């Protein structure tokens, strides 16, 4: 399976091959879908111990200059983001739709932004155009990003640098790990405690090998990353959230800064008037969790119908939730059908299957709370 | 037990003592699919033309379609797979079998590969 895969490779490609990765094209990169153990085992290992993910394909963007100017592009509170603190936010369009989701960290004199691989060049152009002369924006091409996720992640990383073990959730620090200068954020996209480690591409393989030498750590591919984030109720940009879904429809109202919600500051992000109106009046459809009563996997694009046969929604992503032991999915349904426990139906290959609206997340988040 | 026959679509066929033919997917096929989470089986006691899709196997990341290898009648399906689709991963040539058929013409099996030919075929993929 290790035939040449078209696309760029990350700094860890040789290591991936050595570890038996099945490489697949993803957002222009050859990325590991899974390793020898398979997606299910990697998923369960991450929730039980610690998984190491190569997410170097994601965009690492630096913004310097008038940092608060970013409030003209995102609904989050940037002026109120403390030094070394991190925030999940969104780039919106003029209709209040979501261009991409981002992680934003305030570092001394700059903002560090992690963007999705598929949109990083669009995001860069959008940031450059939107921030104009107020800021200097750059996309790093020589950096790597590793994610260490799972209940053992803090002990594993703490063995290299004790101070990271008590790093608060959604905050960052610069430190040396096994002799390599790293920016460590306590965050992730699995619902588990964990870290994302940004470092020079040339240092990535050495650190990855050092982490994998810990018996609690196993390499985990994009397949399990997708099923883990789905169980955790986290959106995949371009799939569960896109230019047609607003933060309110996507059940991400919490990403709108409190100062805009309570009216103490005027919102300047694109589509603010749409989003703030929806905060009060709601949206026709909202994002929900979905679980079939049987074992049939739900796939993106499948229509959801009510008991009268009327189309009331669509599945946006689905996978098998290895930890919950049944298929899990997300989608959008009409507000009247969005209450957990509501029964809907799907037709898959001409057979009807019952589907229930399920509260999100499917598994409780286990973030570090100190 | 009589010898196994293999199709280019990575199905195996085994003639049982009662003349019926058990059908499953090969180890290579289950490995390619990855963790199997759902198997959709047809109704038993149905006459089906060769090449008709009869089984759908879904893994976390892929969907595999199994076609009827020869014309015949489906006489049994492996109901255990409804609750335990992972049997196809764990024992593709054993408890993970898919269906049992009665071929209209048993000579149809002669066209398929024996094990050595199938291994050569897989090695060339």
Q: How close does chain A come to B101, measured CA to CA in Å?
A: 22
CB A268 within 8 A of CB A318: no
So what's the pLDDT on residue A63? Answer: 98
Number of structural domains chain A divides into = 2
Percent of chain A with pLDDT over 70: 98
CATH code, domain with A330:
2.40.30.110
Residues A289, A152 share a domain: no
- Inter-chain contacts counted by CB atoms under 8 A, chains A and B: 36
Do A154 and A119 lie in one domain? The reply is yes
Residues A269 and A291 in one domain: no
Angstrom distance (rounded) from CA B101 to CA B88: 18
For the segment B31-35, the average pLDDT, to the nearest whole number, is: 93
- Residues whose CB is less than 8 angstroms from the CB of residue A275 and which lie 6 or more positions away in sequence, other chains included: A75, A92, A96, A246, A247, A248, A256, A267, A269
**Are A223 and B82 inside 8 Å of each other by CB?**
no
Q: Is residue B66 part of a domain?
A: yes
Instruction: Tell me what pLDDT residue B96 has.
Output: 98
State how many domains chain B has. 1
The verdict on A295 touching B (C-beta cutoff 8 Å) is yes
Place of tokens 């989470």: B37
Q: Which residue of A has its CA nearest to B28?
A: A1
Q: What is the mean pLDDT of residues B52-57?
A: 96
d(CA A351, CA A349): 6
Does residue A132 share a domain with residue A18?
yes
| A129 within a domain of the structure (yes/no) | yes
Q: What is the DSSP letter of B83?
A: T
- The Cα A272–Cα A246 span in angstroms is 10
Work out whether strand A22-26 and strand B53-59 pair parallel, antiparallel, or are unpaired.
unpaired
What is the rounded CA–CA span in Å between residue A328 and residue A288? 11
Q: Are A5 and A32 in contact (CB under 8 A)?
A: no
CATH number at residue A109: 3.30.1360.120
Nearest CA in chain A to B33: A38
Give me the residue from B56, B60, B85 closest to A227, CB to CB. Answer: B60
The answer to whether residue B30 sits within a structural domain is yes
**Which residues in chain A (14-53) have CB-CB distances under 8 A to chain B?**
33-34, 38-41
Cβ pair A24, A31 in contact under 8 A:
yes
Hey, are the CB atoms on B40 and A327 less than 8 Å from each other?
Answer: no
Rounded CA gap, A210 and A202, in Å?
Answer: 14
Q: What is the pLDDT, as a whole number, of residue A4?
A: 56
Mean pLDDT score across all residues of chain A: 96
Q: Which structure tokens are listed for A232?
A: 């955790």
Q: What is the pLDDT of residue A7?
A: 79
What is the token pair recorded at B55? Answer: 């089984």
* Statement to judge: residues A172 and A307 lie in one domain: no
pLDDT one-digit tens code per residue, A132-187: 999 999 999 999 999 999 999 999 999 999 999 999 999 999 999 999 999 999 99
Half-sphere exposure of A153 (CA within 13 A, CB side): 34
pLDDT at A187: 98
**Chosen from B39, B61, B63 to mutate, greatest number of chain A CBs within 10 A:** B61
In a domain, A366, yes or no: no
pLDDT digits (tens, 9 = 90+) for B64-82: 999 999 999 999 999 999 9
- pLDDT value of position B1: 45
CA A11 to chain CA mean position, Å: 21
Predicted pLDDT of residue A1: 39
**Are A34 and B34 a contacting pair at CB < 8 A?**
yes
DSSP reduced 3-state for B11 = strand
- Both A124 and A16 in one domain: the answer is yes
Please give the residue range of the domain that contains residue A322.
284-361
Q: What is the CATH number of the domain that holds B71?
A: 2.40.50.100
| B39 belongs to a structural domain | yes
Q: Do A172 and A290 lie in a common domain?
A: no
In angstroms, rounded to a whole number, what is the distance separating the alpha carbons of residues B4 and A367? 52
C-beta atoms of A351 and B40 within 8 A: yes
Query: What residues in chain A have per-residue pLDDT under 50?
Result: 1-3
Band (pLDDT 50/70/90 cuts) for residue B46 is confident
Distance from CA of A226 to the nearest CA of B (A): 10
Residue B19 is part of which domain span? 4-106
pLDDT of residue A5: 62
Say yes or no for a CB contact (<8 Å) between A349 and B35: no
The H-or-E segment that residue A318 falls in is: strand A311-321
Task: Count the neighbouring beta carbons within 10 Å of the beta carbon of residue A277.
Answer: 14
Q: Are residues A35 and A12 part of one domain?
A: yes
The pLDDT score that the predictor gives to residue A138 is 98
Q: How far apart are CA A243 and CA A360, in angstroms?
A: 22
Assess whether A273 and A294 both reside in one domain: no
Pairing of strands B72-77, B53-59: unpaired
What is the pLDDT, as a whole number, of residue B3?
A: 81
Is residue A263 domain-shared with residue A292, that is, in the same domain? no
Predicted-complex ipTM score: 0.83
The answer on pLDDT for B54 being more than 50 is yes
Look at B60 and A33 and tell me if their CB atoms are within 8 Å: no
CA dihedral A339, A341, A344, A345 (to 10 degrees): 150
B77: its two tokens: 């399906």
Which among A259, A282, A305 is the end of a domain?
A282
CB contact B64 to A (< 8 Å): no
C-beta of residue A46 within 8 angstroms of C-beta of residue A69: no
- The verdict on B65 touching A (C-beta cutoff 8 Å) is no
What is the percent of chain B with per-residue pLDDT over 90, rounded to a whole number? 87
- Strand A8-9's sheet: what is its strand order? A8-9, A29-34, A22-26
Of B56, B60, B82, the CB nearest to A40: B60
Comparing CB atoms, the residue among B56, B61, B83 nearest residue A39 is B61
Q: Is residue B121 part of a domain?
A: no
pLDDT of A2: 42
Residue A20 lies in a domain: yes
- Judged on CB neighbours under 10 Å (0-12, 13-18, 19+), A82 is exposed
Task: Give residue A370's pLDDT.
Answer: 83
Does A214 share its domain with A350? no
CB contacts, 8 Å: A227 with chain B? 60
- Across the interface, do B58 and A297 touch by the CB < 8 Å criterion? yes
Q: How far apart are CA A185 and CA A174, in angstroms?
A: 9
Q: Are residues A132 and A250 in the same domain?
A: yes
**pLDDT confidence of residue B2:** 58
Selecting from A39, A296, A297 the residue whose C-beta is nearest the C-beta of B34 gives: A39
Please indicate if any CB of chain A lies within 8 Å of the CB of B95.
no
CB-based contact A229:A31 (threshold 8 Å):
no
């Amino acid at each position: 399976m290790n035939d040449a895969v078209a696309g760029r490779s990350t700094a860890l490609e040789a290591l991936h091959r050595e570890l038996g990765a099945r490489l697949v094209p993803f957002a222009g990169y050859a990325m590991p879908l899974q390793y020898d153990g398979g997606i299910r085992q990697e998923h369960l290992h991450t929730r039980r111990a610690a998984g190491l993910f190569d997410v170097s394909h994601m965009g690492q963007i630096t913004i310097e200059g008038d940092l608060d100017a970013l409030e003209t592009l995102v609904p989050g509170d940037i002026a109120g983001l403390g030094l070394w603190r991190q925030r999940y936010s969104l780039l919106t369009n003029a209709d209040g739709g979501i261009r991409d989701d981002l992680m934003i960290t305030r570092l001394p004199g700059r903002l560090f932004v992690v963007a999705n691989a598929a949109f990083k060049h669009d995001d860069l152009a959008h940031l450059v155009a939107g921030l104009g002369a107020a800021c200097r924006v750059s996309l790093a091409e020589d950096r790597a990003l590793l994610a260490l996720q799972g209940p053992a992640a803090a002990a594993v990383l703490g063995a290299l640098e004790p101070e990271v073990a008590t790093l608060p959730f959604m905050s960052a620090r610069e430190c040396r790990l096994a002799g390599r200068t790293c920016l460590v954020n306590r965050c992730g996209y699995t619902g588990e405690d964990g870290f994302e480690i940004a470092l020079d591409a040339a240092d990535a393989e050495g650190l990855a090998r050092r982490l994998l030498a810990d018996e609690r750590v196993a390499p985990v591919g994009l397949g399990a990353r997708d099923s883990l984030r789905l169980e955790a109720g986290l959106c995949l940009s371009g799939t569960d959230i896109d230019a047609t879904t607003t933060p309110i429809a996507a059940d991400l109202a919490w990403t709108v800064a409190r100062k805009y919600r309570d009216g103490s500051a005027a919102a300047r992000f694109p589509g603010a008037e749409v989003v703030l109106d929806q905060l009060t009046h709601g949206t026709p459809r909202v994002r929900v969790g979905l679980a079939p009563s049987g074992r049939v996997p739900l796939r993106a694009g499948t229509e959801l119908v009510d008991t009268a046969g009327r189309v009331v929604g669509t599945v946006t992503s689905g996978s098998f939730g290895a930890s919950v032991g049944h298929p899990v999915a997300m989608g959008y349904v009409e507000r009247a059908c969005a209450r957990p426990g509501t029964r809907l139906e799907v037709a898959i290959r001409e057979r009807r299957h019952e589907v229930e609206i399920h509260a999100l997340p499917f598994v409780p988040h286990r973030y570090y709370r100190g | 037990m009589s010898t196994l026959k293999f199709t280019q679509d990575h199905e195996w066929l085994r003639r049982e003592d009662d003349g019926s033919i058990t059908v499953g997917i090969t180890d290579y096929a289950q490995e390619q699919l990855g963790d199997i989470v759902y198997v959709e089986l047809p109704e038993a006691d149905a006459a089906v033309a060769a090449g008709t899709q009869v089984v759908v196997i879904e893994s976390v990341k892929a969907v595999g379609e199994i076609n009827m290898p020869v014309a015949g009648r489906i006489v049994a399906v492996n109901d255990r797979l409804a609750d335990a689709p992972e049997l196809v991963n764990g024992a593709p040539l054993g408890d993970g079998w898919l269906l049992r058929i009665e071929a209209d013409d048993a000579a149809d099996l002669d066209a398929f590969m024996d094990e050595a030919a199938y291994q050569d075929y897989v090695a060339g993929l």
